[in-house]
């Protein structure tokens, strides 16, 4: 049976040499970079803002056991219900219980990476419940039977021509439809679904402790429709998404929008504090927040690496990463791709199966540079590598190889014992199919440095 790491290598190699994929990604990320540079230029002191966000998230993680119950108490005061879920199975089971208890058959979903993490759509489909994505990018990839490609831009790997062709095959729209016309078609198809849906499911960009609220950030209005029309609203949110006060949105909303899309603020920013109150005219009759652990406390227990939980899911590190730009989001095989996925997935889903992600990096440090909450991402990658070795998740051949390399590098005698010709033969024998698969192998000099030094500095007779 092929391991996850072996699949990753095969998929990565395929994508790295897919010229069309590279063209689309470079074009889309290029547009993103231009927008983000404009957005960041409007922030007077970006570094101070990032430092403040880092410290705020640090305080939250150090006091998570106090701040989560504060949120729970304040949310329940307004008639909301809080459910704690240890893992994906518990979260899915609780969501199914709510849906079945209400006799519901249809669900509309706004964009949520947590629901991708727990594979909610597949779970509901297995139980004969229709779950429809309403974010345009998510809607497209769902219809294609694919997973989201990117944390913020699910259909980043598709060109407008790809989407126009797909809509033509699926809905009969003209091939020359513009992006605006394609969006209008999707709007027509989805609008009816909001009115019919029994349950609306969202994620949550932030949980606000002092008001007991969830904050949703979006550009299409689909989250508002998903939470307004259905009688039941379920928000599933990772426990790390909490911030102390509603006043902190003044900092986090602009940081998220500028780093995510280059906007000053996203188009729709919504704060929800429970189900419809007696004096309110709209909103759901019931509202649930499911607080998901699913491995997050494993990461919280790692003092050196818990800052991975500071992430606000802006996607900036993905767009900056030279590896992500070449191998794409689907290759990672996880809900969270790119640098941030590489540092948190081994803790959320197991170091043994996902340690390879922390090695899929050039360690250039660009991810750390662009992070709006100053997560030391490239340091976390190294710490994960250390943990993988300490926990014994290293193939025996690799152990032997490094042991031999260490012994040789620490001994001048052994270094000089093997000639350059022998060293070249060893590299061609052992590394040609791996390291040298798509590279020219290095050519070791025939004589060692020590021999050349002696010859050059030999006293004249």
Q: Which pLDDT does position 440 carry in this prediction?
A: 82
Q: Is the pLDDT of residue 89 over 80?
A: yes
- Integer Cα distance of 127 and 118 in angstroms: 15
pLDDT of residue 172: 95
For residues 243, 244, 246 and 249, what is the CA-based torsion angle, rounded to 10 degrees? -40
For 207: left if phi > 0, alpha if psi spans -120 to 50, otherwise beta; the answer is: beta
Residue 237's nearest CA partner among 85, 79, 53 is: 85
How confident is the model at residue 405, as a pLDDT? Answer: 83
Is the pLDDT reported for residue 449 higher than 70? yes
User: Is a pLDDT exceeding 90 seen at residue 45?
Assistant: yes
Q: Provide the residue count of the chain.
A: 461
pLDDT of 95 reads: 98
Instruction: Give one word for 189, left, alpha or beta, with left for phi > 0 and alpha for psi -120 to 50.
Output: alpha
Residue 243 is predicted with a pLDDT of 98
Q: Which residues make Cβ contacts (< 8 Å) with residue 436, sequence separation at least 6?
A: 427, 428
What was the pLDDT predicted at 426? 80
pLDDT in tens, 50-86: 999 999 999 999 999 999 999 999 999 999 999 999 9
**pLDDT higher than 80, residue 457:** yes
pLDDT score, position 1: 61
Residue 398 confidence (pLDDT): 83
With 80 as the cut, is the pLDDT of residue 129 above it?
yes
Contact 342, 333 (CB under 8 A): no
Q: Which CATH architecture has domain 62-294?
A: 3-Layer(aba) Sandwich (3.40)
pLDDT of residue 326: 94
Phi, psi of 127 (to 5 degrees): -105, 25
The pTM score is: 0.92
76-80, 127-131, 401-405: segment of lowest average pLDDT: 401-405
CA angle, residues 70, 74, 80, in degrees to nearest 5: 125
- Calculate mean pLDDT across residues 190-204: 95
Categorise residue 374: left if φ over 0, alpha if ψ from -120 to 50, beta otherwise.
left
| Average pLDDT for the chain | 93
End-to-end Cα spacing for the chain: 67
Identify the pLDDT of residue 461.
Answer: 59
The per-residue pLDDT for 332 is 96
List beta partners, residue 269.
Answer: 217
**How far are the Cα atoms of 20, 21, 164, 165, 291 from residue 159, in angstroms, in the given order?**
10, 9, 9, 10, 36
Least confident range of 75-89, 188-202, 410-424: 410-424
Per DSSP (E only), the strands in 158-204 are: 199-202
Amino acid 460: pLDDT: 66
- Closest Cα to residue 327, out of 362, 355, 370, 377? 362
Rounded CA separation 176/153 (Å): 23
pLDDT value of position 394: 85
DSSP assignment of 278-339 equals TT-SSS-SEEEEEEE-TTHHHHHT-TTTGGGGG-----HHHHH-HHHHHH-SGGG-SSS-HH
Residue-wise pLDDT tens digits, 426-436: 888 877 777 77
Instruction: Name the residue ranges covered by the structural domains of the chain.
Output: 1-42+319-393, 62-294, 396-456
Mean pLDDT of 439-448: 82
């Amino acid at each position: 049976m092929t391991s996850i790491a072996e699949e990753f290598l095969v998929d990565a190699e395929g994508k790295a040499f897919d010229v069309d994929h590279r063209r689309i990604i470079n074009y889309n990320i290029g547009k993103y970079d231009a927008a983000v540079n404009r957005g960041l230029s409007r922030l007077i002191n970006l570094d101070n803002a990032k430092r403040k966000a880092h410290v705020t998230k640090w305080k939250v993680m150090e006091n998570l056991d106090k701040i989560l119950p504060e949120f729970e108490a304040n949310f329940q005061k307004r008639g909301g219900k809080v459910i704690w879920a240890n893992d994906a199975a518990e979260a899915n089971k609780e969501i199914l219980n709510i849906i079945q208890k209400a006799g519901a058959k249809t669900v509309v979903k706004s964009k949520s990476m947590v629901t991708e993490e727990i594979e909610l759509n597949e779970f509901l489909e297995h139980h004969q419940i229709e779950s429809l994505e309403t974010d345009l990018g998510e809607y497209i990839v769902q219809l294609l039977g694919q997973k989201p490609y990117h944390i913020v831009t699910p259909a980043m790997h598709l060109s407008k021509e790809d989407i126009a062709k797909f809509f033509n095959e699926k809905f009969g729209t003209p091939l020359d439809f513009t992006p605006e016309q394609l969006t209008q078609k999707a709007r027509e198809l989805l609008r009816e679904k909001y009115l019919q849906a029994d349950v609306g499911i969202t994620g949550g960009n932030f949980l606000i402790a002092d008001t007991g609220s969830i904050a949703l950030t979006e550009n299409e209005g689909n989250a508002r429709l998903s939470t307004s029309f259905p009688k039941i609203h379920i928000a599933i949110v990772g426990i790390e998404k909490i911030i102390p006060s509603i006043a902190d949105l003044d900092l986090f909303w602009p940081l998220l929008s500028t780093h995510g899309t280059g906007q000053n603020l996203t188009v729709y920013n919504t704060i929800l504090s429970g189900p419809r109150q007696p004096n309110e005219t709209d909103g759901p009759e019931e509202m649930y927040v499911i607080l998901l652990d699913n491995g997050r406390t494993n990461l919280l227990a790692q003092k050196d690496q818990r800052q991975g939980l500071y992430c606000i899911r802006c996607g900036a590190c993905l767009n900056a990463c030279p590896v992500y730009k070449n191998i794409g989001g689907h290759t990672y095989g996880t809900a969270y791709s790119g640098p941030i996925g590489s540092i948190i997935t081994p803790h959320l889903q197991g170091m043994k199966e996902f340690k390879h992600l922390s090695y899929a990096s050039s360690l250039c440090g660009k991810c750390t540079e662009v992070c709006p909450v100053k997560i030391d991402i490239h340091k976390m990658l190294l710490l994960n590598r250390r943990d993988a070795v300490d926990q014994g998740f290293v193939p025996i051949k690799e152990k032997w190889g490094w042991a031999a390399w260490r012994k040789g590098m620490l001994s001048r005698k052994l270094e000089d014992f093997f000639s350059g010709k022998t060293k070249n033969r060893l590299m061609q024998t052992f590394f040609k199919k791996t390291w040298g698969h798509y590279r020219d192998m290095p050519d070791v000099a025939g004589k060692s440095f020590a021999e050349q030094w002696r010859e050059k500095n030999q006293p004249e007779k």
